[in-house]
Chains A and B, each alone.
Chain A
Amino acid sequence: MISALIMKEWLKVKWVTAGLLIVHIAALLLTYYDLSNLFKSYKANEVIIQFITFEVVYYSKLKYLALLSGLGIGIFQYFPELNQSRLKLTLHLPVKEHLLIIQMAATGIVLLCLLCLIDAVIISLITALFLPREFFDSMITTTVPWYLGGLTAYVWVMVVFIEPSWRKRILLSVVGLGIVSLFYAGSGFNIYAYSIWCIAVLAIISGSVIFLSAYNFKRGIM
Chain B
Amino acid sequence: MLSARIALLMLIVLTASIFIPQFYWKANTRENKRTNVFYSPILKDFIFIKSDVRENYYVDGKGKFHTREEFESLLPFLNYRQLTLSGTMPDSIDGIRIVSKEVNLNNINIRVQPAIIQYRSLQLFPLFESASGRVRLELSTDFFRIKERMEFVTSLTNTINEEKSRTFTDALVNEGFTFPAKAIYGNPSTKKPFDEGYFVIDQKGKVYHLKMVKGRPFCKETGIPSDLDIAYISVTENELRESYALMVTQTNDVFFISYDHYGLNKVPVKDYDHTKHTLLIKGDLFYRVITVQKENGYNAIVTDRRNIVLADTSEQWPGEEMTMAGVIASYVFPFTLAIEKESSPYIGAYFTPPGVNALLVSVIALLCSVYYFRKYKIPTRNVIVYSVLIACSGLYGLIAFLVVKDFDDDPR
Contact = CB atoms under 8 A, between A and B. Distances in A.
B325 interface: no
Contacts of A135: 122, 124
Interface stretch (A18-26, A41-49, A76-84): A41-49
Contacts of A95: none
B11 A179 contact: yes
Given A46-B139, A53-B188, A211-B1, A205 B10 contact: yes
A134 B145 contact: yes
Interface string A193-222: 111001000100110111110011001010
Contacts of A114: none
B408 to A, nearest CB: 6
B347 A191 contact: yes
Contact of B18 (A53, A178, A209): A178
B347 A132 contact: no
A178 B15 contact: yes
B11 A175 contact: yes
Contacts of B5: 212
A45 B403 contact: no
B174 interface: no
A48 B143 CA distance: 9
A61 interface: no
Contacts of B408: 219, 221
A181 to B, nearest CB: 9
Contact of A134 (B4, B11, B124, B340): B124
A212 B8 CA distance: 8
B124 A52 contact: yes
B140 interface: yes
A132 B349 contact: no
Which label, helix, strand, loop or mixed, suits the secondary structure of the A interface? Answer: helix
B7 interface: yes
B59 interface: no
A182 interface: yes
Interface residues of A, number: 46
A47 to B, nearest CB: 8
A53 B188 CA distance: 8
Interface string B344-379: 011111000000000000000000000000000000
Contacts of A202: 11, 14
Interface residues of B, number: 43
A208 B142 contact: no
A186 B347 contact: yes
A76 B393 CA distance: 37
Given A48-B143, A221-B408, A194 B346 contact: yes
Contact of A209 (B11, B142, B145, B406): B11
Contact of A185 (B122, B145, B153, B340): B340
B140 A45 contact: yes
Given A48-B155, A195-B349, A205-B7, A134 B122 contact: yes
Nearest to A145: B347
B121 A52 contact: yes
B158 interface: yes
Interface in B125-163: 126, 139-143, 145, 153, 155-156, 158
Contacts of A168: 403-404
Contacts of A205: 7, 10-11
Interface centre among B8, B121, B345 (most CB of A within 10 A): B8
Contacts of A45: 126, 139-143, 155-156
A215 B4 contact: yes
B26 to A, nearest CB: 15
B191 to A, nearest CB: 10
Contact of A175 (B15, B153, B406): B15
Contact of B188 (A52, A130, A171): A52
Contact of A215 (B12, B349, B410): B410
B25 interface: no
A71 to B, nearest CB: 18
A189 interface: yes
A131 interface: yes
Contacts of B86: none
B346 A195 contact: yes
A185 B347 contact: yes
Contacts of A138: 122
Nearest to B7: A208
Given A49-B188, A186-B347, A206 B122 contact: no
A47 B410 CA distance: 60
A64 B291 CA distance: 43
Contact of A49 (B10, B14, B139, B145): B139
B123 interface: yes
A172 B4 CA distance: 14
B3 interface: yes
B19 interface: yes
Given A188-B345, A208-B7, A221-B406, 16 more contacts: A45-B140, A45-B141, A52-B122, A175-B11, A179-B15, A186-B340, A193-B120, A195-B339, A195-B346, A202-B11, A205-B7, A208-B3, A209-B8, A211-B4, A212-B8, A216-B406
19 contacts: A43-B141, A44-B141, A45-B156, A52-B121, A53-B188, A132-B155, A134-B145, A175-B11, A182-B18, A185-B347, A186-B347, A191-B345, A191-B347, A202-B11, A206-B7, A209-B4, A211-B1, A212-B5, A219-B408
Interface of A: 43-49, 52-53, 129-132, 134-135, 138, 168, 171-172, 175, 178-179, 182, 185-186, 188-195, 198, 202, 205-206, 208-212, 215-216, 219, 221
